[in-house]
Structures are given as structure tokens and as C-alpha cells.
Amino acid sequence: MQFFTHFKSSKICSALYLYGLLFSTLSIAEPSQTLSIYGSNTIGSRLAPALAEGLLQRQGFTHIELQTISDTNQQIITAGLSSLKTDTRIDIHSQGSSTGFVALYEKQGDIAASSRPIKESEVSLLSPLSDMHSKNAEHIIAIDGLAIIVHPDNPINDLSITQLADIFSGDLNDWSMLGARSGSIRIYARDHNSGTWETFKELVLSPTNKALSTQAQRFESSEQLSALVSKDPNAIGFIGLPYVREAKALAVSAGETLAMYPSVELIATEDYPLSRRLYLYSAEHESNPLAQDFLAFAQSDAGQSLVESNGFISQTVSAMSVVADDSMPLQYQQLAQQAQRLSVNFRFKEGSAQLDNKAHRDIDRVLAYLRKHNKMENKLVLVGFGDIKSDPERALLLSKLRAMAVRRQLHNNEIIFREIFGIGDAMPVASNNLDQGRVKNRRVELWIY
């Protein structure tokens, strides 16, 4: 009897041991789904984690945890259907846009996050993996925009990008050099880890090979920077659009363009000079289902809502009024007086009427807007624009061809257009001296009655 009791007890202990071993193995097992994103700090610091959590919530996970590893700029999001097991893990590494393309090449990452378009050298490097220029590899998920702010009593109302580069580098150091009252210009800037700083550096300082003045005061907090600029008569700073608050936002010009004040609409159309696209890149035929889900979610209405709530400009289509003025061509003035402009532009590859990748996705967004607001018949006007050509007639022809290219994309859906016309190289929104400026000028605007 004693032997039987001992034998029975041993069997129970062995079973418990095996069960414990099995449970331990399950708890540390690799999750069934994994995703690795490398690249831009602008995207990776807040937006990518927000999109990851939003996707996991949509997929029904109830236990979602975020871990930040500051030393390596890495964030780990884990999710499970219970607290006992991790089913999914998303790793986000934010060390700069270039690192995303290297990670794709070395097969460490599934998605590259970039706050700039891919370089031709990177396209060549990744050509064995995919055509990175294709619409299935390049995904524009948001538009980023900055405001230049000064004290409310500062008499300066607008500055060019060239002047901004001179100011923030310290080459222009007194307000009297800009026609205002004398006073040493005090520079307020975000810290070097900020995505806002990365945007400013790329759009203002880098094109002129200038560096931020060593006299600049740096801030981790957008709120603090804005508050201090609004109290300092000699201050100037840059900030994300939501943080202008009590400060005064300046209009900004690029090259020969008219100065534009920052607004959600002008950043959405990319007309405002301090705006840029944010990208995700992946293989054309991405085999990781979680990567496919992440890319699709970022473009969805829910994903674009998260884009907006995290301080960026979403790609949701809306209508806006435009004030007509005498500098506009007469036909355009009449349009501005009678219709509203949609907050999306269609843009094109250089010297052609071929839509770029953002435009292909915007077709669906525009169609959804037109259907929702009952604007499918005789309500839509397309206006084509171009960059400067040696032959003005060629610029005019290309602008009309671009409008017709958008018409062809929308015509398949049985829209009846009210009017379609081109106005050549009139009304540039960027400098034609740089490639990125010419790209912005090659566009089609959409107007509705």
C-alpha cells in the first residue's frame, strides 16, 4: 500500500513537472506573427506605434503592451488574446530613413519607414527584391507640415525658405536685417531626437547645406517652445501645426512663389512649402501577412484618423474655399469665385502625364467623397498645371494632358465632368530651380460646384 501511494505521488509530480515545462515552453515560444519596421524617427517615434496598436485592436487582440528601449530607439508592441501568451509582436526601430532601406536589403526588416522619397541608389540596391518605385512598393501614409512662429507683435509677416536658412544658421542675426526693429534674433528649435526637427532640417537647412546655429535653444516640448516664443519679442521658432497657439505663424515662400500661411488644407495639397510626404516601403509582393495588414490599415479611414490624431495631416478629402485675386489667370479667378477646391492634388512623374503613386491611391478617396456628397454629375472641374518649359506651348499642352490623365482614371467610374482645362506654368507652388519643386508644380487640382 505504501509503494502504491509513493508510485501514485510520483506520477502526479511527474505530470505536474511535464505540464510546467510545457507551459514554460509555450510562454516563451516565438509569437505566431511578427513584423519588423525600420527607418524614420519622424514615423517611428509615435505614428508607427499608434498604427500598430490600432491594427492589433482591430484584429481583436485584448492584451496589447508597448515597451520602449530608449538606448536603441526601439519600440516593441506585443499582443495576445490572453495575458498568458503573446500571439503577435511588432518591432519598430527608429534610427533614420536610410536604415530602413538597409534593413530591407539585409532582410532584417519587412517595412522601411521613410520621411523622404527613396533615392535612386537605394532603388538600385533593392532591385533584386522589388521595383521600389511601383505603387505596390511605395505607400504614402501622411503629410507632414511645419509652422514658423514669432512673437505676436513681430511686424514680419512672411519669409522665404532662403531667409529661414540664413536665420536659423545664424547668418542673419538681427531683425533689422529683415526690415524690422533692431534686436538680436533668438532661435528656438526642437531637440535633435524630434521628428519636427528632422522635417525642418530636411526642408530648410539641407537644401542650402547649412547647419543650425550653435546659439539655438533646444526644447523637448513643443508646448514649451511655442509658449516661450509667444512671450519673447525677438524669438523665432518652428513647430508642428497644432502647436502654434498664442504665437504668430508666418507665411512662407519658395523661389518665385507667393508666400503661403500654414493650414491643414495647404499642407494636405502639398502646396505649402514646408510640407512633405511620409512613406512606407515594402517588397511589391510582400509575403508577410502582418506587413500586408499594417500597410492596408495605414491607408484605411481608421488609420488616417490615427495619422491626424498624432499631429500629421491625413489624406482624407475635404472641400475648401479659395480667395480669388488679380494674380490668378482669369479662368482660375472665376473658378475660385464660384466653386470649392478639394484638399488633394494629383501629381506626376517628371516630364510626363503619368500619375505618381499617391495619385493612384487618391483616386479611390476622391471617388468616395464625390459619391458621399452627390457630386458625380456635372460638378467636378479638373485644372492642370506644369513646370516651366523652354516652349510655353509645351507647358500648356502638358498641363492639359495631365488633367486628361486624371479624367481617364475617374471616367471609368462614370463621372460626368463639368470642365477640364490646363493653364501651363502659371501659379507655381514651389521653385522650379530644384527637382522637388518641379515635381510639386506638375499637378492637377480638383474643384467642385
- pLDDT of 64 above 60: yes
Place of cell 471616367: 411
pLDDT in tens, 266-296: 999 999 999 989 999 999 988 999 999 999 9
Helix 289-299, helix 301-309: angle, nearest 10: 70
Tell me if residue 165 falls in helix, strand or coil. helix
Sign of CA dihedral 283, 289, 291, 294: positive
pLDDT: which is higher, 306 or 431: 306
Question: What is the average pLDDT across 22-51?
Answer: 78
- Of the ranges 25-29, 165-169, 222-226, 438-442, the best mean pLDDT one: 165-169
Span 376-382, average pLDDT:
95
pLDDT digits (tens, 9 = 90+) for 221-280: 888 999 999 999 999 999 988 889 999 999 999 877 889 999 988 999 999 999 989 999
Nearest partner of 275 among 146, 388, 418, 373, judged by Cα: 146
* Cβ 202 vs Cβ 172: under 8 Å: no
Inform me whether the pLDDT recorded for 73 exceeds 60. Answer: yes
- Rounded to 5°, the CA angle 284-288-293 comes to 85
pLDDT at 147 over 70: yes
pLDDT for position 26: 40
Categorize the per-residue pLDDT at 127 as very low, low, confident or very high, splitting at 50, 70 and 90. very high
Average pLDDT in the chain: 88
Mean pLDDT of 158-180: 96
Residue found by looking up cell 531626437 in the block: 193
Cα distance between residue 441 and residue 404, in whole Å: 17
- For residues 53-80, give the mean pLDDT: 93
How far is residue 139's CA from residue 117's CA, in Å, rounded to a whole number?
10
Helix (H) or strand (E) holding 401: helix 392-411
Q: What would the DSSP string read from start to end of 213-277?
A: -TT-EEES-HHHHHHHHTT-TTEEEEEEGGG-TTSEEPEEE-TTSPPB---HHHHHTT-STTEEE
Q: pLDDT at residue 386 above 90?
A: no
Judged against a pLDDT cut of 90, whether residue 178 lies above it is answered with: yes
| 9, pLDDT greater than 50 | no
CB neighbours of 177 closer than 8 A, spacing ≥ 6?
none
Q: Which pLDDT belongs to residue 88? A: 95
404 vs 352, 353, 377, CA distance in Å?
Answer: 12, 9, 17
Q: Could you give the angle at the alpha carbon of 68 between the alpha carbons of 65 and 71, nearest 5°?
A: 160
Q: Which residue has the cell 536603441?
A: 72
Residue 25 has pLDDT above 50, yes or no: no
| 217-219/186-190 β-pairing | parallel
30 touches 278 (CB < 8 A) = no
Looking at residue 348, its pLDDT comes to 78
d(CA 356, CA 102): 24
Query: At residue 163, does pLDDT exceed 90?
Result: yes
Mean pLDDT of 148-177: 97
| The pLDDT of residue 27 | 41
Start-to-end CA distance of the chain, whole Å, equals: 95
| Residue % of the chain over a pLDDT of 90 | 65
Lowest mean pLDDT among 343-352, 356-365, 417-426: 343-352
Q: Is pLDDT of 63 > 50? A: yes
The predicted structure's pLDDT at residue 428: 81
The reported pLDDT for the residue numbered 433 is: 64
Local confidence band at 192 (pLDDT 50, 70, 90 cut-offs): confident
Q: Region 75-81: what's the mean pLDDT?
A: 94
**pLDDT the model gives residue 327:** 87
DSSP per-residue codes, 266-333: HHHTT-STTEEEEEEE--TT---HHHHHHHHHHHSHHHHHHHHHTTSB-----EE-----TTS-HHHH
The fraction of the chain above a pLDDT of 70, given in percent, is: 90
Q: What is the pLDDT of residue 395?
A: 84
> Using CA atoms, how far apart are residues 285 and 206, in angstroms rounded to an integer?
34
Of 258, 250, 244, 261, the residue nearest 196 (C-alpha): 244
